[in-house]
C-alpha cells in the first residue's frame, strides 16, 4: 500500500494478490496502516498469523481488535523509527527464500492476466488496460503521479507504478474525489523539476477542469490524462446489480480536450482513430508540458471489468 516506497522494481515489493498473501503469512507487520475497511476490518488477516502493529495513535492502532483480529504485539510510536530499530535488531537473520519467490510468482501470474486483458478487443474506443500499460512504459523517472477517479484509477493502481517515495497522490481512504487539480498544483510548486502526470476519471475530472484556467494563468505545466468512458463506472458496477438501474451514472463522451483549449491549455484526443499513436500522443503531451504548457489528453476508452475478466462497453 506504500506505493513507490521501494521504487519501481524492488524484488521485495509485491504489488498484487495482497489478500491471499496475508492469509498465508505467519507474521504480519502493520506499519502505520489500521484495520479499517481497507483490510476488511481485520478479516483479511489469518487468526494463525502473529500480528505486529505500530502506530502513533493508540486508539486507531487497536480499532476492531478482539473482534476480527488480535495483535500479538501493539507498539505505540513512530513507524519510521521503529522500522530502523527493527533493522538493527535483525542483523544476521536469514529468511526462507521460497516464500518471497511464491509471492513473486503470483505477481507474475497476475501481470500475465493483465497482458491478456490488454489484448482483448473492445466494441468501440480504446482498451484502457492497454492504454495504461503504455502510460507505464512512457512515464519518466522524475514523475509525480496524481490520481483522481474511480474505475480508471482503480485500473491504473494495478498497472502504473510510481517511480519513488511520495510520488503517488490519490483521494485517500475516504475517496474524496476532486482533489486532483489541487494536488497537482501543490506537487508542481513543491517540486518544480518533477513532471506531474495526473490520471483522472471523466467523472472526477468534472471537479478539476476549471483549474486549468489557474494552471494557464500562473504558468504551471501539468499533464492530465482523462480515462473517458462516459460514466461514473465504479458506481454503476455496484448500483446496477443492486437496484437494476444506471440512473445518474451515465455521462457523455465529452470533448474535455476542447474545453481545455478554451481555457488556454493544450488539448489532445486519443481515440480509435489514432489508437496506433498512443505513445506518440503521450510524448507530444509530455513535450508540450516541458515547454511550459498545461496539457489535457482526452482518452476515449471502453469499460473493463476485473471481477470476471471481461471487457464491456
CA 141 vs. chain centroid, Å, equals 17
pLDDT of residue 173: 84
CB-based contact 212:265 (threshold 8 Å): yes
What does the block give as the cell for 155?
485500473
Eight-state DSSP code of residue 38: G
pLDDT at 309 over 80: no
The mean pLDDT value for 275-293 works out to 97
What does the block give as the cell for 30?
502493520
Enumerate residues 6+ apart whose C-beta is below 8 A from 163.
Answer: 4, 7, 8, 139, 140, 141, 142, 143
| Tally: H helices and E strands in the chain | 12, 11
Grid look-up 498465508 returns: 24
pLDDT at 248 over 50: yes
Residues 108-121 have pLDDT tens digits of 999 999 999 999 98
Structural domains of the chain in order of their starting residue, each with its CATH number: 17-100 (3.40.50.1220), 120-300 (3.40.50.970)
What does the block give as the cell for 201?
476519471
The three-point CA angle 191-224-188 to 5° equals 10
The mean pLDDT value for 250-266 works out to 98
Place 304 in a pLDDT band, splitting at 50, 70 and 90.
Answer: low
Alpha-carbon span 185 to 189, nearest angstrom = 6
Count other C-beta atoms under 10 Å from residue 94's C-beta: 6
Amino acid at each position: 500500500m506504500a506505493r513507490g516506497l521501494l521504487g519501481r522494481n524492488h524484488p521485495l515489493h509485491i504489488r498484487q494478490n495482497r489478500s491471499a498473501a496475508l492469509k498465508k503469512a505467519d507474521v504480519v507487520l502493520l506499519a502505520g496502516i489500521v484495520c479499517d475497511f481497507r483490510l476488511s476490518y481485520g478479516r483479511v488477516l489469518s487468526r494463525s498469523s502473529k500480528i505486529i502493529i505500530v502506530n502513533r495513535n493508540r486508539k486507531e492502532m487497536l480499532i476492531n481488535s478482539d473482534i476480527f483480529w488480535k495483535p500479538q504485539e501493539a507498539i505505540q510510536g513512530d513507524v519510521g523509527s521503529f522500522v530502523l530499530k527493527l533493522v538493527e535488531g535483525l542483523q544476521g537473520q536469514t529468511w526462507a527464500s521460497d516464500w518471497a519467490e511464491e509471492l513473486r510468482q503470483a505477481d507474475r501470474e497476475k501481470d500475465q492476466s493483465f497482458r491478456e486483458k490488454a489484448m482483448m478487443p473492445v466494441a468501440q474506443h480504446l482498451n484502457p488496460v492497454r492504454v495504461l500499460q503504455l502510460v507505464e512504459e512512457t512515464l519518466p523517472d522524475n514523475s509525480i503521479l496524481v490520481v483522481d477517479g474511480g474505475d480508471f484509477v482503480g485500473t491504473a493502481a494495478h498497472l502504473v507504478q510510481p517511480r519513488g517515495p511520495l510520488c503517488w497522490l490519490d483521494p485517500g481512504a475516504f475517496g474524496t474525489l476532486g482533489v486532483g487539480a489541487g494536488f497537482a498544483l501543490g506537487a508542481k510548486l513543491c517540486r518544480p523539476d518533477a513532471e506531474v502526470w495526473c490520471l483522472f476519471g471523466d467523472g472526477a475530472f468534472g471537479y478539476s477542469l476549471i483549474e486549468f484556467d489557474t494552471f494557464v494563468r500562473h504558468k504551471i505545466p501539468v499533464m492530465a490524462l482523462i480515462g473517458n468512458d462516459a460514466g461514473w463506472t465504479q458506481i454503476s458496477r455496484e448500483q446496477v446489480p443492486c437496484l437494476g438501474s444506471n440512473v445518474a451514472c451515465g455521462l457523455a463522451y465529452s470533448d474535455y480536450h476542447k474545453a481545455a483549449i478554451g481555457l488556454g491549455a493544450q488539448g489532445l484526443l486519443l481515440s480509435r482513430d489514432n489508437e496506433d499513436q498512443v505513445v506518440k500522443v503521450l510524448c507530444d503531451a509530455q513535450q508540450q508540458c516541458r515547454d511550459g504548457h498545461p496539457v489535457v489528453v482526452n482518452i476515449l476508452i471502453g469499460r473493463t471489468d476485473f471481477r470476471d475478466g471481461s471487457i464491456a462497453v
